[in-house]
């Protein structure tokens, strides 16, 4: 319970009823100093006074304890709206990650291939064998960070949906990397039902 919040709420409700601190105090048969102490959050109303106070302020006990009006309809609506917004934000983020993975992955692989093809070309049409080896090795070595980074991005983006039980799950980046794949669909064991299958990438948890 937030005493300050409750105090502010009492003050708001009292004013809404058109009462002064003294008038409220009089109705409850207490001093206006006690009302002032509630409203500044220095004390809470005695348990015995809570129901009469709620009656005068036209609120219920739950609202008094929360220090705000509770309207169930609105409450549900607000909660759902927040949830939807969070979901959309997550979806956006995951899509962005996946796009980054494709762009980075394809660029990296294309650059690696260009270096290796360049190396093969040099080896074929010139005597610069050392240069050819450097180009080919460089191209091959570049593949490693490209793949690692692409795996990190793919792993960060979304979840896998099990075809058998419908559960959406994540796996370790290690398991993901070594699972056979077709695009981002990977052949893995579902951690929930234990069945193996081609698990499709999805952007949200449900
Ligand atoms: Zn499953």
pLDDT, position 27 = 95
Among residues 158, 162, 168, 172, the alpha carbon closest in space to that of 196 is found at: 162
Ligand 1 centroid to Cα of residue 180, in Å, is 17
H helix intervals, 20-128: 21-28, 32-39, 47-57, 61-66, 72-125
Ligand 1 centroid to Cα of residue 155, in Å, is 19
* d(C-alpha 111, C-alpha 138), whole Å: 10
pLDDT, position 135 = 93
pLDDT, position 58 = 93
Ligand 1 centroid to Cα of residue 95, in Å, is 23
Ligand 1 centroid to Cα of residue 52, in Å, is 56
pLDDT, position 89 = 85
Which neighbouring-strand residues pair with 160? Answer: 169, 201
* d(C-alpha 155, C-alpha 140), whole Å: 23
How far out from the chain centre does Cα 26 lie?
51
pLDDT, position 176 = 92
* d(C-alpha 168, C-alpha 97), whole Å: 18
Ligand 1 centroid to Cα of residue 198, in Å, is 11
pLDDT, position 61 = 79
* d(C-alpha 164, C-alpha 195), whole Å: 7
Reading across the β-sheet that carries 196-202, which strands appear in turn? 168-169, 159-161, 196-202, 185-189, 181-182
CATH of 3-66, one of 1.10.10.60, 1.10.260.40, 3.90.1210.10, 1.10.357.10: 1.10.260.40
Ligand 1 centroid to Cα of residue 169, in Å, is 9
pLDDT, position 10 = 96
Domain parsing of the chain, residue ranges: 3-66, 75-156, 158-206
* d(C-alpha 91, C-alpha 93), whole Å: 5
Ligand 1 centroid to Cα of residue 161, in Å, is 8
* d(C-alpha 25, C-alpha 49), whole Å: 11
Ligand 1 centroid to Cα of residue 154, in Å, is 20
pLDDT, position 80 = 78
Ligand 1 centroid to Cα of residue 170, in Å, is 12
Ligand 1 centroid to Cα of residue 165, in Å, is 4
Tens digits of pLDDT across the chain (206 residues): 788 999 999 999 999 999 999 999 999 999 999 999 999 999 989 888 989 999 999 988 778 888 888 777 676 776 777 778 888 888 999 999 999 999 999 999 999 999 999 999 998 898 888 999 999 999 999 998 898 999 999 999 999 999 899 899 999 999 998 999 998 899 999 999 999 999 999 998 88
Ligand 1 centroid to Cα of residue 21, in Å, is 62
| Ligand 1 (single-atom ion) residues, CB below 5 Å | 162, 164-165, 167, 190, 192-193
18-36 core/surface letters (b: 16 or more CB in 10 A; e: else): ebebeebbeebebeeebbb
* d(C-alpha 31, C-alpha 122), whole Å: 98
pLDDT, position 64 = 85
* SS3 annotation, 150-175: HHHHHHHCCEEECCCCCCEECCCHHH
């Amino acid at each position: 319970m937030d005493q300050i919040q409750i105090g502010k709420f009492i003050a708001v409700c009292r004013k809404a009823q058109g009462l002064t601190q003294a008038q409220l105090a009089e109705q409850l048969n207490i001093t206006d100093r006690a009302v002032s102490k509630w409203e500044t959050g220095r004390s809470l109303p005695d348990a015995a006074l809570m129901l009469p106070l709620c009656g005068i302020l036209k609120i219920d006990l739950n609202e008094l304890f929360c220090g705000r009006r509770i309207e169930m309809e609105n409450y549900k609506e607000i909660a759902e709206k927040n949830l939807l917004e969070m979901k959309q934000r997550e979806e956006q983020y995951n899509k962005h990650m996946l796009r980054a993975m494709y762009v980075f992955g394809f660029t990296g692989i294309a650059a690696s291939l260009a270096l290796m093809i360049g190396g093969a070309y040099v080896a074929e049409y010139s005597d610069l064998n050392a240069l050819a080896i450097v180009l080919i090795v460089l191209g091959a070595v570049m593949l490693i960070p490209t793949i690692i980074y692409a795996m990190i991005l793919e792993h960060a983006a979304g979840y896998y949906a099990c075809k058998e039980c419908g559960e959406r799950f994540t796996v370790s980046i290690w398991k993901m990397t070594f699972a056979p794949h077709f695009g981002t669909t990977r052949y893995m064991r579902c951690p929930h039902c234990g069945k193996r299958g081609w698990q499709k990438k999805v952007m949200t948890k449900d």
